[in-house]
Structure 1
Amino acid sequence: MTVSVSPGRLDADRVRLAGVAADTERLLATLPQPRLRTAGQRAEAAAAHDAARRLRTAFMNAYPDQVYDELTSGRTRHPRLDELVEAAAHTFPGLVPTPEQVARERSRAQVDQEGWQIDQGIFLRGVLRSATSGRHLMDSMLRPTPRALRLLPEFRRTGVLVTDAVRLERRDGVARLTLCRDDCLNAEDERQVDDMETAVDLALLDPAVRVGLVRGGVMSHPRYRGRRVFCAGINLKAISAGRISLTGFLLRRELGYLHKLVRGLSDDDPDRWTPPEQKPWVAAVETFAIGGGCQLLLVFDHVVAAADAYLSLPAAAEGIVPGAGNLRLGRIAGARLGRQVILDGRRVMAAEPDARLLVDEVVPPEEMDEAVERSLARLRGDAVVANRRMINLAEEPLDGLREYLAEFALEQALRIHADDVIDKVGRFAERSA
């Protein structure tokens, strides 16, 4: 199926899309849940999905800016990812799953999901591929979250925020952000992403903060009791349970707090002539930075690691894509080491020479506190923010990130629903249980 790009065809093609999507949903309603389907039923469902997804892809290839403009009132509104896909479901039936389909999907384990996030990935890839619409969406995701704006007055008064996943404390001009999910060694899930973005927003919004620090908290896990742990990466149990979504985690994380660490916040002032607010950030790595924890280090201005820590990006072994790690790691550490870490699963020990391509300082564990404070003091200089802004602009142009994340949106959605991933995370969840 193809969609004509001739002027005036949008309304006709949206009706056609809605019809094909409705036919697909009627067929799927006659079939058992995915893991109970016979080989023939799986083939029947796959063919129906393929036809509908070809049409969705052609539709977004033809009309990305028209669709986005209608959803955002000519780019005068700034919806976030979840709001945008929900609006698309109502305005363009069949383009993305309905809120009811999404809710039903999230109530099921990964093995029983239909894979509607793939259709969201097709839509968001189309938006991000467009320089006009994609830049607007990225700007929308750089705005402070409503939660952060609601909490800002209290944080400015007390200098403290405590959530389920993080603790943020402002002291001596430093926003000290501690990852404190000791129940799962700071493994990432949607709750952690929401809390991290809130904390990053508050640190950027508070004029009393000059520099930020991210550090793992002290764990109660029997194996690491009493030790600080930076991050264990994505929570595989949450994937298996169907609680890792494209708009709430996989893409929100990249376009939300990680991008804010790099570029700071955007706002509603169209006539702003000064650059957006940015602040330098330090990371302190103890024990390990695995997966998303290692990705996180790639956006920091200075990384201090304990000599007994290690770094790894096991995404390929897990079957998924390590966020924007593929974009950043090779640039920072070199192409060969980047491939070894991502494709071969190489673990880099902080004490080995190659670790200096990924971190700035390696110190004995007992000297971490002093090393961290020294690095924070060095980043307080008046010209640090201006220079980091120009470095980040040169190293990671906005359109380069946009084009990468456009393809990531669909690639990661496909991988998260791939049979090998479902099998791996399912076995991990069983072992953990």
Structure 2
Amino acid sequence: MTATAAPVRAPRITGDLRTDAAALRRHTAADDARLAELPANPDRTPAQQQAADGLHRSSRSLRSRFMAAHAPAVHAELTEGGTGWLRIAELAEAATDRFPGLVPTKEQLAQERTHRQAHKEAREIDQAIFLHGLLGVPAVGRHVVDAMRQPTPRALALLDDFRRSGVAEFATVRLERDGDIGRVTLCNAHCLNAEDDQLTADLETAVDLVLLDDGIRAGLLRGTTMTHPRYAGRRVFSAGINLKHLHEGKISYIDFLLDRELGYLSKIVRGLWTGADGGWAEKPWAAAVDTFAIGGGMQVLLACDQVVAGADAYFTLPAAQEGIVPGLANLRLGRWVGARLARDIILTGRRLHAVEPEARLLCAEIVDPDEVGAAADRAAARLTAPAVVANRHMLNLADEPVDVFRTFVAEFALVQGDRLYSPDVLAKVGARWSTGERR
């Protein structure tokens, strides 16, 4: 480690917010200045990379201790005493102004975005420390969870037009009102409905519209017909996270990995919170699986009330083999298929084929591949019965209380942030993307 790159001794946490915030600002600025003296990540020698790692560890240790001491006060300041309902991206952005050095700036994140995942400074880990600290405090974390369950501004802006037309088109999703069913079709066809930042944003908008539209009583998720040469003319549910985008550094920690869990998936499970005056908007969901539901695609099924699959379909969660955590599958899968089978699927990457008896634990119906659409329509129609919403609300309350969800997501935020930049993940993602091994 060179003398110029050596971290300075981290200050102690005093317990006084202003004193500690000032110390945090000075210490992280000093570490960043020393980091800037080193070559860019891909050009470093092993010794220089060791020096960079030491600088990051020094700042991250201080950030962790600062959040452990001050998370409620930080949140109160960012939300004007809890009166403001900020999404996690907005909280992180606000923190760059109020608490310099706590999270990366817009400029730092923009610079990161120009690099492949393996060549970044891993500044999203600092966002993970911040969000872990907020979500880990019960009252603060519940405020964050509720803020993320409010309708997005994009959905509210489109609502009147959707109510008139019954159709909403996005870059990767199509939404259509069909009677009292909201049909949400995944249309990221060029990559087998692989998940990326755009699909996450589009899906959340579509889910919001389904939940806000009074004419819709149930949602139905299905993949569109593929243009990909290998599956041309066939429908596919989802290939999971876009490994090409992850390899290229285009998968966002907040806008993808955290937003999907706290955003549209949480809304599917628990519904929208429309504010103190508006109350809740909750509806049941069905999913139709053609061909396969890989990774995040399988995770989506765990949030739905009814799943219909073609007999030729399969389900798998390869995240452990890739080195990351499969979203909230570790929380939810065992409730559907039992603890032992859940461990087999998550820890070994076992593929569960629809023709296997165990697949009935995940799916309400297994049908001929040509009958998936009709069977899914019937499943969605069954969910429109008047008492379904109340009963699924109580089932979800028993299965996944909000504080259980919050506690899990707090730890997930930290663990997943770290795994995204682990050496084994960076090596495996590049290899799997280049060979197409996942599919």
Same fold per TM (> 0.5)? Answer: yes
Q: 2:298 is matched with which residue: 294, 298, 316?
A: 294
Distance 1:10 1:81 in 2: 21
* 1:163 shift after superposition: 1.0
Match of 1:84 in 2: 91
Paired with 1:170 and 1:189, the residues of 2 have a C-alpha distance of: 25
Could you tell me how far 1:370 is from its partner in structure 2?
2.4
**2:323 pairs with 1:323:** no
SS of corresponding position for 2:231: coil
Aligned to 1:23: 30
Q: How many residues align?
A: 427
Distance 1:58 1:263 in 2: 33
Secondary structure in structure 1 of the residue aligned to 2:184? strand
State which of 365, 389, 410 in structure 2 corresponds to 1:361. 365
Match of 1:343 in 2: 347
The one of 401, 407, 425 equivalent to 2:405 is: 401
Q: Is the 8 A contact 1:3 1:59 kept in 2?
A: no
* 1:9-408 mapped onto 2 (5 Å cutoff): 9-269=16-276, 276-408=280-412
1:417 is matched with: 421
Report the alpha carbon displacement of residue 151 of structure 1 after superposing the two structures with TM.
0.7
Q: Which amino acid in structure 2 is aligned with residue 185 of structure 1?
A: L
For residues 12-57 of structure 1, the C-alpha deviation after alignment (integer angstroms, 9 at most, x for no partner) is 1001111110011111101112222111111111111111111110
Measure the CA separation in 1 of the matches of 2:209 and 2:428.
37
The farther-off stretch of 228-237 and 104-113 is 104-113
1:404 maps to amino acid: F
Q: CA RMSD in A?
A: 1.2
Q: Tell me, in whole angstroms, the C-alpha distance in 1 between the residues paired with 2:416 and 2:48.
A: 25
Post-superposition offset of 1:291: 0.1
Cα distance in structure 2, aligned partners of 1:109 and 1:342: 27
The 2-side partners of 1:428 and 1:379 are apart by 39
More deviation in 61-70 or 357-366?
357-366
Partner SS for 2:50: helix
TM-score normalised to structure 1 length? 0.96
Tell me, in whole angstroms, the C-alpha distance in 1 between the residues paired with 2:211 and 2:14.
Answer: 43
Deviation at 1:429, TM superposition (A): 4.2
Give the match's secondary structure for 2:32.
Answer: helix
TM superposition shift of 1:3? 4.6
In 2, the alpha carbon distance for the partners of 1:23 and 1:299 equals 45
- Secondary structure of 2:263's counterpart equals helix
**Per-residue CA distance 1:303-357 (angstroms, 9 max, x = gap):** 0010000000000111111011111011221111111101101000001001111
Tell whether the 8 Å contact from 2:11 to 2:23 is kept in structure 1 after alignment: no
Deviation at 1:181, TM superposition (A): 1.1
Give the AA of the match of 1:342: I
| Structure 1, 411-420 or 229-238: larger mean CA deviation | 411-420
Secondary structure at 2:272 match in 1: coil
TM-score scaled by structure 2?
0.95
C-alpha separation in 1, matches of 2:286 and 2:17? 48
User: Structure 1: where are the runs of 5+ without partners?
Assistant: none
Instruction: Please tell me whether the aligned partners of residues 246 and 413 of structure 1 are also in contact (alpha carbons under 8 angstroms).
Output: yes
Cα displacement (A) at 1:2: 6.9
Fraction of identical pairs, as percent: 53
1: CA distance, partners of 2:431 / 2:13: 45
- Please give the per-residue CA displacement for 1:216-238, whole angstroms capped at 9, x wherever unaligned: 11111111111110000000111
Amino acid at match of 2:350: R
Matched to 2:49, the amino acid is R
Distance 1:308 1:359 in 2: 13
Q: Which amino acid aligns with 1:24?
A: D
1:431 CA displacement? 4.3
Structure-1 separation of matches of 2:370 and 2:434:
37
Q: Secondary structure at the match of 1:343?
A: helix
